[in-house]
Amino acid sequence: MSTLLGHDVEHLRRRGAVDTSREIAQQPAVWREIGRLAAESAASNAAFLKPLLERPDLRIVLTGAGTSAYVGEVLASSLRRSLGRRVDAVATTDIVADPLACFAEDVPTLLVSFARSGDSPESVTATELASQVLTECWHLVVTCNANGRLAARHADTATGQVLLLPEAANDRGFAMTSSFTGMVLAGLLALGGPDDGLAERLATAAEQILATRPAAAADLAARGYSRIVYLGSGTLHGVARESALKVMELTAGRVVALAESALAFRHGPKSVLNDETLVVSYESNDPYTSRYDRDMVAELLRVVPERSLVTVSSRPGRPARDNTWTLPDVEDVDDAALVLPAVICAQLIGLHFSLALGLTPDNPFPGGEVNRVVQGAIMHPLPVSPWQGRQQVQLRALPARTGERADVNSGASRR
């Protein structure tokens, strides 16, 4: 009898969970394939990226919507360090809503677009607005769908390069799992440096999590928590946000989740804690940052039951705790890479909370209230030229002080 994540496959099929379960379980194989593809495309990617990265004034903007936006949040701080330059994570939803603010500085820009399907309304519009507003703009598209509008728009163009993930990464389930981790890894390898065995190490760590933690996730789900808090500092704040989204998606909002950094949690969000709250804390691999993570865990142990606090760390619990989910043999990798095996813990939790509530994880919204590919958003054309738009931004002067006259014609040009 075949099993998947400790469940009979036929049982998962009847529960509407087989796609999501398979896509969680397949991630080590997908990462190995991405590592192989990255090596094969290294020369082509370098030909496109090297001249851009040699420009000291280049700004890199990482974009996407929802889970795809969190790919950028995970990668931004890591790439700032490795590239020694400005790298910003800006969601496509923000770009489309206010492009003149997102691109207020008219500097050479590489827009890196992450998208599972590339067919959401904002995906192509964000790239078109960037090209409209900026004098110099190039596009690196990281997507799981060769037939998506985003890939078609930027393939085989002088200013575009498309990185296509393996077909398996184009998740069929509602919630992004393989696609999220696949795009993180592809972006890291394309912009952050060669593989050097990284994909294999991450895959091996993930296989151990997949073999040992499904039962623990099911046990958490059986306790009836109605709230989950995910904590992550620095780079890991991005994975905390993705983790919170996963459980809300997979439980159709019946479990409410919050994401914060360890330090920010004290400033009000800590009020969410009650007897029905599960806390999951990601510990950074950075020795400095991890001090704040451990301080928060120690503080939480004084106010919540130990069984309601899970620590996800590459190091054994300090002090040793049964509720430390250890990520093996990855204690020296950058936090952006640590995200890959770490988020599998959240995916398992989201899946099992959904099953415990009697939902169908592959499609938690059978009535169509929320869709796998976002629908219904109307894309409005930018009604001004880039120059006019920047002029309008410039003219938004602060009110004059009493007795002074506001001169809207003064001030340096934003260009």
Three-class SS string for 71-116? HHHHHHHHHHHHHCCCEEECCHHHHHHCHHHHCCCCCCEEEEEEEC
Residue 414 pLDDT exceeds 70: no
Residues 189 and 261 in one domain: no
Residue 411 pLDDT exceeds 50: no
Residues 125 and 207 in one domain: no
Contact 201, 314 (CB under 8 A): no
Residues 316 and 231 in one domain: yes
Q: What percent of the chain has pLDDT over 90?
A: 82
User: Please, what is the average pLDDT of the chain?
Assistant: 90
Residue 404 pLDDT exceeds 70: no
- Which of 314, 339, 362 terminates a domain? The answer is 362
Q: Is 151 within the bounds of a domain?
A: yes
pLDDT at 370: 63
Residues 242 and 344 in one domain: yes
DSSP 117-168: SS-SHHHHHHHHHHHHH-SSEEEEEEES-TTSHHHHHHTT-TTEEEEEPPGG
Q: Domain limits at 242?
A: 198-362
Looking at 235-239, 300-304, 326-330, 372-376, which range is the least confident one?
A: 372-376
Residue 397 pLDDT exceeds 60: no
Q: Is 61 within the bounds of a domain?
A: yes
Residues 154 and 275 in one domain: no
Q: Is 81 within the bounds of a domain?
A: yes
Residues 109 and 233 in one domain: no
Angle at 236 between CA 278 and CA 78, to 5 degrees: 175
pLDDT at 139: 98
* Mean pLDDT across 279-290: 97
Residue 229 pLDDT exceeds 80: yes
Residues 302 and 322 in one domain: yes
Angle at 233 between CA 49 and CA 217, to 5 degrees: 105
Q: Is 163 within the bounds of a domain?
A: yes
**Cα(146)–Cα(397) distance, integer angstroms:** 46
Q: Is 289 within the bounds of a domain?
A: yes
Burial 378-410 (b: 16+ CB within 10 A, else e): eeeebeeebeebbeeebeeeeeeeeeeeeeeee
Residues 182 and 319 in one domain: no
Q: Is 329 within the bounds of a domain?
A: yes
Write the CATH number for 268. 3.40.50.10490
318 vs 339, residue with greater confidence: 339
**Cα(286)–Cα(281) distance, integer angstroms:** 15
* Mean pLDDT across 179-187: 98
pLDDT at 406: 34
Q: Which 8-state DSSP code applies to residue 175? A: S
Structurally, the chain folds into a number of domains equal to 2
Residues 91 and 178 in one domain: yes
Q: Is 187 within the bounds of a domain?
A: yes
pLDDT digits (tens, 9 = 90+) for 147-181: 999 999 999 899 999 999 999 999 999 999 999 99
Residues 81 and 177 in one domain: yes
Query: Measuring CA to CA, how many Å separate 329 from each of 326, 332, 389?
Result: 9, 8, 51
Residues 49 and 164 in one domain: yes
**238, burial (CB in 10 Å: exposed 0-12, middle 13-18, buried 19+):** buried
Residues 233 and 358 in one domain: yes
- Which of 134, 165, 196 terminates a domain? The answer is 196
Looking at 38-52, 66-80, 278-292, 392-406, which range is the least confident one?
A: 392-406
Residue 403 pLDDT exceeds 60: no
pLDDT digits (tens, 9 = 90+) for 73-113: 999 999 999 999 999 999 999 999 999 999 999 999 999 99
Q: Is 375 within the bounds of a domain?
A: no
- Which of 150, 169, 196 terminates a domain? The answer is 196
